[in-house]
Structure 1
């Protein structure tokens, strides 16, 4: 038995954001072609012991891989928590790689966000706004900068000191200025691309702040009773996109658009990236991407890192 055990340190050293975005694009193309099996995630309640969340996915063929991601949702905010991603050879059942840590999830979600920005935002987008400066905010920002050349990057979080430190750190990572703003409005209202990556249960922006033609990534809560963007934003959007309608269906009446005319307008990102669906998007129209986490993308990203390590061995 021979497999790769991959740590957060391996991910930091090996995985670049451009490579991660390209990997996600390939996964979306597989999904559009019906090759990537990507069911909704499942949850197992264990009472006081915890709540395990499983995401499974894979694809057939000579390069067949299958796998899963698992974590305990009860301790999602614990500084000691870990996640597990396992990758198996789909033709032999051999274990190929195991990723343990906390970094693969944000890298995967950030790369999906980057793919969405690349294919849904205006190519001439120059101002990026980010609300939320946690791990998801960082990878979303890195991915956005990997697919668009922004002249100005504005960030905001309610914790002033954390926002300042985040801006300084990301300025160094990106080798361009990242400005810490004093309010969510200042971060949002001139943005050509706006990323909301918070854990806020209430809206963090107002629809009236939004510039015509803006593209928005909604990474944080998107439920009827727990939402970082209210339904007004969806109502103003010309296009509502998500990475997985299967997960929307699994959420049922909890999802923010459920029971509204906006629900039937939701469409998947996969065929847009694959090219079989083209958005007839005018420059002044708003696009909104609901990031839910397409199953199997964690498996694809883990497999990519394992291949890179093997090639360098």
Structure 2
């Protein structure tokens, strides 16, 4: 078995490699060459933590495995650790034998940012100039860096439940040479692309905060009950998802489905756009929305890529297991 420790991930996995791995696996999912297993996600009743498993099998890439981990909301304050903790396990699909164990914390951040940037690449207007950020936590910095590479953005605007955290994303914008402005949610009407990345259980971004022609990447809702945007916004938009089944059960679409604003048939896998079987955006006035719930195959794709890089660079630790 090969081990790639968390400490080595930053020197191995780039945003470009994460983007390529995620885009490829989304395409494989849409073509039927890869499938995710049902998600297990439970409240532990200890430390307010959520813990679970995401897994799947990519027949095209011969990648089989799972990610185990979750969200410990007290980590940062009490222990100086990031709140999201996870590990990816890969298995040989021919034998079932474990082949690798990979630190999953940074990979989770990179694959989540890659998913939203894939949606921007394929669905945002080519002339998008203003990028809106709803959320300013740890993951938001990864989201912003990846998004800024997809269009020639001239301005970043941001809002957060806790305004004192906005310097997190202001710093990233400054590093990229892009002006930043803190706004109220009503100011998001200026944005051509909006990324929501919060852990909210009630909506903050409302339908009247979004202008025609905007692309939204909703990345924070991955659990039953979570919600970042008003359900009626999905009725105004053309809705895409990493996986339809997760979108309607644990993603933003869960609320619009329950409320009758949309049906399952109104949600399209983004892999269909990547593969060219769906046209994607059809006009400059259309609102497009990507519901990024985070699928196990994303984790497996980036983990498999990082194992290959670790072997090439002599950083993989081999143990007899």
Q: TM-score, normalised by structure 1?
A: 0.87
Q: CA deviation at 1:95?
A: 3.2
* Matching residue of 2:206: 206
1:171 is displaced (CA, Å) by 2.2
Superposed, 1:178-217 pairs within 5 Å as 178-186=179-187, 188-217=188-217
Alpha-carbon RMSD across the aligned residues, in angstroms, is 2.6
1:152 and 1:51, CA in 2 relative to 1: closer, same or farther beyond 3 A?
A: closer
Indicate yes or no: 2:109 matched with 1:110: no
Q: Return 266-275 or 213-222, whichever deviates more.
A: 213-222
The equivalent of 2:280 in structure 1 is 279
SS at match of 1:31: helix
The alpha-carbon deviation at position 72 of structure 1 amounts to 4.3
Gaps of 5+ in 1: none
CA distance in 1, matches of 2:147, 2:253: 29
Q: For structure 2, which runs of at least 5 residues remain unmatched after alignment? A: 315-321
Deviation at 1:83, TM superposition (A): 1.0
Say whether the 8 Å CA contact 2:250–2:293 is kept in structure 1: no
- What is residue 41 of structure 1 aligned with on the other side? 39
Match of 1:53 in 2: 52
Q: Secondary structure at the match of 2:208?
A: helix
Correspondent of 1:69 among 60, 67, 70: 67
Q: Distance in 2 between the 1:128 and 1:179 partners? A: 10
Q: Structure 1 residues 262 and 223 mapped into 2: Cα distance closer, same or farther (>3 Å)? A: farther
Q: What residue in structure 1 maps to residue 241 of structure 2?
A: 242
Report runs of 4+ in structure 1 exceeding 4 Å deviation: 44-51, 222-226, 249-254
Please give the residue correspondences for 1:147-166 in structure 2 after superposition, counting only pairs within 5 Å: 147-166=150-169
1:304 to 2:302 alignment: no
Change (3 A) 1:178 1:58: farther
Match of 1:78 in 2: 75
Residues of 1 paired with 2:192 and 2:43: CA distance? 41
Q: How far 1:295 sits from its partner (Å)?
A: 2.5
> What is the TM-score with the length of structure 2 in the denominator?
0.85
Q: State the SS of the aligned residue for 2:75.
A: coil
The equivalent of 1:19 in structure 2 is: 17
Q: Distance in 1 between matches of 2:28 and 2:43?
A: 32
